[in-house]
Amino acid sequence: MVIGYTAGVYDLFHIGHLNLLKNAKGMCDKLVVGVTVDELVSYKGKKAMIPFEDRIEIVRSIKYVDAAVPQYNMDKLEACKKLNAQILFVGDDWYGTDKWKAYEKEFEEAGIKIVYFPYTKGTSSTQIRKALNYIRKDTLEDVK
């Protein structure tokens, strides 16, 4: 049985998230998804709009996901080892970065393959958040 793992915040769930999960499930027998806990979201200097309990329930309910687990730290290699995952799935926005070149060596030594999926251009939680903030700002100015 091939176990795959991916992780993310999954805030403001969108088609890019769904594409990643669908493509990942197509390459493994069991897909385990780490959902970043609220405390860890702050590593990016951000705050999730949707609480962790809701985000993990949304991810858990997706038909491509076999299990959803809390992600308490950024150590994906540790998570893969703990789950006996043979494949880590990530977006290709990380591909070729110094950080991920180093990860590739560590994962290869552990016998875990990293698969990069194309980032869904034009869609991201950051863009959705910016649009919502813009709309909120306009709405507040209209009320004044």
| Pairing assessment for the beta strands 30-36 and 3-8 based on DSSP bridges | parallel
Write down the catalytic residue from 44, 47, 101, 130: 44
Q: Quick: pLDDT tens for 121-141.
A: 666 666 666 666 666 555 545
Rounded CA separation 48/33 (Å): 17
Write down the catalytic residue from 25, 46, 76, 81: 46
- 46 catalytic? Reply is yes
Rounded CA separation 110/30 (Å): 19
What's the whole-model pTM score? 0.84
User: Higher model confidence: residue 142 or residue 6?
Assistant: 6
Q: Quick: pLDDT tens for 112-126.
A: 999 999 877 666 666
Q: Quick: pLDDT tens for 11-22.
A: 988 888 999 999
Q: Hey, what amino acid is at 63?
A: K
Q: Are 114 and 90 in contact (CB under 8 A)?
A: yes
Picking from 61, 119, 125, 69, the residue whose alpha carbon sits closest to that of residue 95 is: 119
pLDDT category of residue 143 using cuts at 50, 70 and 90: very low
Q: At what angle do helices 76-83 and 98-109 cross, to 10 degrees?
A: 30
- 121 catalytic? Reply is no
Rounded CA separation 131/77 (Å): 34
Domains of the chain (ranges plus CATH)? 3-143 (3.40.50.620)
pLDDT above 50 for 9: yes
Torsion sign across C-alpha atoms 122, 123, 128, 130: negative
